């Protein structure tokens, strides 16, 4: 099959497929897609636009724009939507399961076996994974800052977001920083708006979209009250991860501060355990949001283990999938509005500030205890940003470095 890209006006030639085809295609991607959400989008384009021609270039660009606009894990939302387009609702479910479950299973296995990492070698390995988190989050801040804060107004919005989350602790401060960034974008970022090209066609009716949006809102507003009234940890776990998935813009590493506020501060998991799992998440393919499966399995209160992992995994992905399904029928009209584009530019700049604050605390303060730790983390950062090393290579090298530092 030719791999020449489709032109912007050319429709995809492949007919609709079944859920089985979608599952097999995305299982391959779920097992091999290393490198984070931006890399995932590149894998999707190569496999599904160029090779299989499930969608044309213009349609794919529109879909990526929508998923980057919404809260939630952008690459998973793109994959889910491509499965929906190709195989209907069952195709969407197949795409999500196949892309998500391989990395989730690996992280659950790590959580369940973490107790085996005793002694100096195990302690060194855990410390090395924490240093991986420093390098990876620093890379994310660096890359996002260059893309999302390229001018003075957006750089100022990012600094303002840092001030908000530093002086007002808790997840609500992060939400407030994003909201303030969107408002600032309305005032400061209008001159940079552009008119989006093309149209996005998906098999979702407006009625179905409204139902999904309504369910998203009902769960977001109703789960905290239900959790407080019932008092069951399982419901509290679902609510915490649903809130994290619903309120994070940018996906991937940006969910780190929300998850830290949700599970470390209440004492469900230790800071060291949190960062060790986050470091391990860099070594597996697939979406970084599967870090939730590790946290659900490793949390100290029942339900934990496999049931806790399943609760956390479904809860963190559900809001993003509801939002993208609900937004598909309305996206073309909304994204053409200059005010919407300006608000999102400001919100994205605020996300950079929030992630920058998270780089210092809890990531840096929990991992870097001296100059040797700093040198190891810096080496990992250079490998990622300059040498373009795969994340799993950095995980392996810093894991060995952590063991060496522990035994030295």
Per-residue pLDDT tens digits of the chain, which is 408 residues long: 333 444 333 344 445 668 888 999 999 888 877 666 766 777 787 788 878 888 876 677 677 767 777 888 888 998 999 999 888 889 999 999 999 999 999 999 888 876 555 667 777 877 887 787 788 778 878 887 888 889 999 999 999 999 998 888 665 677 788 889 989 999 998 875 555 555 566 778 889 999 999 999 999 999 988 988 888 888 999 998 998 888 776 566 677 777 888 888 888 988 888 888 887 887 788 888 899 999 999 888 888 889 999 999 999 999 999 999 998 888 777 767 888 878 878 888 887 888 788 788 777 887 888 999 999 999 999 998 899 887 778 878 988 998 898 887
In angstroms, the CA 104 to CA 207 distance is 33
**375 Cβ neighbours under 8 A, 6+ residues apart:** none
Please give the angle made by the CA atoms of 352, 357 and 358, to the nearest 5 degrees.
95
Cβ atoms of 353 and 177 within 8 Å: the answer is yes
In angstroms, the CA 286 to CA 190 distance is 35
Which pLDDT tens digit goes with each residue over 235-284?
Answer: 999 998 998 888 776 566 677 777 888 888 888 988 888 888 887 887 78
In angstroms, the CA 205 to CA 394 distance is 45
Query: Peptide bond preceding 310: is omega within 30 degrees of 0, i.e. cis?
Result: no
In angstroms, the CA 33 to CA 42 distance is 9
Cβ atoms of 128 and 279 within 8 Å: the answer is yes
In angstroms, the CA 223 to CA 226 distance is 5
DSSP string, 70-88: SBS-HHHHHHHHHHHHHHH
259-268 long-range Cβ contacts below 8 angstroms, 24+ apart? 259/291, 259/292, 259/295, 260/358, 260/362, 261/170, 261/171, 261/174, 262/171, 263/295, 263/299, 264/362, 267/300, 268/237, 268/295, 268/299, 268/300, 268/301
Cβ atoms of 159 and 300 within 8 Å: the answer is no
pLDDT of residue 14: 47
Is the pTM higher than 0.75? no
DSSP string, 280-313: HHTTSSS-GGGHHHHHHHH-SSSS-HHHHHHHHH
pLDDT of residue 104: 93
Bridge partners of residue 249, in order along the sequence: 71
Place of tokens 């700049």: 349
Paired tokens of 319: 């809001």
């Amino acid at each position: 099959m030719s791999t020449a890209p489709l032109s912007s006006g050319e429709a995809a030639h492949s007919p609709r497929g079944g859920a089985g085809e979608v599952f097999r295609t995305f299982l391959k991607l779920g097992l091999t897609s290393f490198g984070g959400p931006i890399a995932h989008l590149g894998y999707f384009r190569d496999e599904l636009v160029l090779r299989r021609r499930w969608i044309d270039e213009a349609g794919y660009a529109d879909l990526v724009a929508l998923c980057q606009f919404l809260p939630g894990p952008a690459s998973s939302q793109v994959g889910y939507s491509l499965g929906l387009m190709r195989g209907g609702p069952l195709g969407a479910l197949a795409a999500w399961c196949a892309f998500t479950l391989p990395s989730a299973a690996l992280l659950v296995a790590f959580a369940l076996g973490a107790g085996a990492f005793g002694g100096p070698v195990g302690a060194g390995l855990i410390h090395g994974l924490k240093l991986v988190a420093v390098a990876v989050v620093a890379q994310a801040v660096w890359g996002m800052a260059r893309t999302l804060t390229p001018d003075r107004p957006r750089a100022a919005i990012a600094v303002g977001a840092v001030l908000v989350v530093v002086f007002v602790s808790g997840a609500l401060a992060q939400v407030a920083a994003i909201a303030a960034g969107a408002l600032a974008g309305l005032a400061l970022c209008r001159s940079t708006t552009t008119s989006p090209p093309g149209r996005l066609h998906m098999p979702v009716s407006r009625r179905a979209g409204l139902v999904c949006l309504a369910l998203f809102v009902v769960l977001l507003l109703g789960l905290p009250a239900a959790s407080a009234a019932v008092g069951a940890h399982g419901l509290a776990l679902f609510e915490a991860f649903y809130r994290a998935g619903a309120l994070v813009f940018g996906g991937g590493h940006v969910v780190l501060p929300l998850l830290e506020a949700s599970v470390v501060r209440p004492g469900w998991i230790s800071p060291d355990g949190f960062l060790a799992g986050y470091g391990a998440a860099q070594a597996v393919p697939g979406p970084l949001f599967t870090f939730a499966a590790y946290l659900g399995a490793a949390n100290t209160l029942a339900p934990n283990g496999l049931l806790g992992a399943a609760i956390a995994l479904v809860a963190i992905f559900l809001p993003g999938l509801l939002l993208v399904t609900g937004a598909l029928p309305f996206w073309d009209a909304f994204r053409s509005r200059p005010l919407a584009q300006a608000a999102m530019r400001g919100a994205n700049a605020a996300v950079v500030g929030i992630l920058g604050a998270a780089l210092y605390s809890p990531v840096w303060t929990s991992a870097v205890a001296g100059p040797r730790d700093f040198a190891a983390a810096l080496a990992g950062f250079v490998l990622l940003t300059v040498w373009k090393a795969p994340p799993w290579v950095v995980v392996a090298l810093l894991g060995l470095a952590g063991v060496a530092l522990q035994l030295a």
